[in-house]
């Protein structure tokens, strides 16, 4: 199993290999990520080519995938850009930007400030910042993301990380049900941690959502958005016809 430390190091090494190259000029403006005026429960649909816990997904072009996410009713698209273990790249993010007007979240193991500049240049509107990855530097990275006009989504997996995420003042807080060390997933984690956040917080429930009942439970616990990847990419997941179908009786 690839460890989190190995993934972070591999991403930092890949960034070092391409640093110094000129970044593309961004031609479009930044889109609002999870605006307060959005739906009661928003869907962030994730595109990834592979994962250490699942292996490769059925091959599909980035453009066709994100257009399907639009038809499903997604409010935003997460693009996993990690190369090692996930086969992702910044090219996937750029291709998604060309295919959709939905806001895009760059998802990866960001540990260097320059990765934030790359995210902006390749079309991201938001950047995932993982408390476990950034530690004491988390607040600095939140400020850096905001300085380039993007929205930070700060991710926590336990109570201490959630407290650290809240101290940064980030508007969007993710609670990841998947332990990045063991890769075990438990959707009850969100239900336990969500009450520790202030009422009305923009909480994003991440990982493990395949059943409508689990999604509705997360919404009742305070989720304002749910990030779903494997449940949409794996045909065995039983993808719903529309997000409205899933959320018809929540509110």
- 13: pLDDT confidence band, cut at 50, 70 and 90? very high
More confident residue, 3 or 97: 97
Q: Estimate the crossing angle of helix 138-147 against helix 113-121, to 10 degrees.
A: 30
Domains of the chain listed by start with CATH number: 41-246 (3.20.20.70)
More confident residue, 246 or 231: 231
Q: Residue 208 has which token pair? A: 């493990």
pLDDT at 248: 56
Q: What is the pLDDT of residues 34-50, one digit of tens each?
A: 999 999 999 999 998 88
Q: Examine the pLDDT at 59 and tell me if it is beyond 90.
A: no
- 85: pLDDT confidence band, cut at 50, 70 and 90? confident
Looking at the annotation, which residues are catalytic? 46, 48, 107, 155, 176, 206-207
Indicate yes or no: pTM above 0.75.
yes
- 249: pLDDT confidence band, cut at 50, 70 and 90? low
Half-sphere CA count of 234, side-chain side, radius 13 A? 15
8 Å CB contact between 135 and 108: no
- 30: pLDDT confidence band, cut at 50, 70 and 90? very high
- 69: pLDDT confidence band, cut at 50, 70 and 90? very high
**Overall average pLDDT of the 161-187 stretch:** 95
């Amino acid at each position: 199993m690839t460890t989190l430390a190995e993934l972070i190091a591999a991403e930092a090494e890949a960034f070092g290999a391409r640093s110094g190259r000129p970044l593309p000029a961004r031609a479009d403006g930044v889109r609002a990520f999870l605006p307060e005026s959005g739906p009661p429960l928003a869907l962030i649909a994730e595109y990834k080519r592979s994962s250490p816990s699942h292996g490769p997904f059925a091959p599909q072009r980035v453009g066709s995938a994100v257009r399907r996410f639009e038809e499903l009713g997604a409010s935003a698209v997460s693009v996993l850009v990690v190369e090692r273990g996930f086969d992702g790249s910044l090219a996937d993010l750029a291709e998604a930007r060309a295919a959709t007007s939905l806001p895009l979240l760059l998802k990866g193991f960001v540990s260097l400030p320059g990765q934030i500049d790359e995210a902006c240049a390749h079309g991201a509107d938001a950047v995932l910042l993982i408390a476990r990855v950034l530690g004491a530097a988390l607040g600095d990275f939140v400020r850096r993301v905001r300085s380039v006009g993007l929205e930070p989504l700060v991710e926590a997996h336990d109570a201490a990380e959630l407290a650290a995420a809240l101290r940064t003042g980030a508007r969007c807080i993710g609670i990841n049900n998947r332990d990045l060390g063991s890769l075990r997933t438990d959707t009850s984690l969100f239900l336990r941690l969500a009450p520790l956040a202030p009422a009305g917080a923009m909480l994003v429930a991440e990982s493990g959502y395949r059943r409508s009942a689990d999604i509705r439970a997360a919404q009742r616990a305070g989720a304002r958005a749910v990030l779903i990847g494997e449940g949409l990419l794996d045909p065995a997941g039983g993808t719903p016809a529309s997000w409205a179908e899933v959320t018809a009786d929540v509110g």
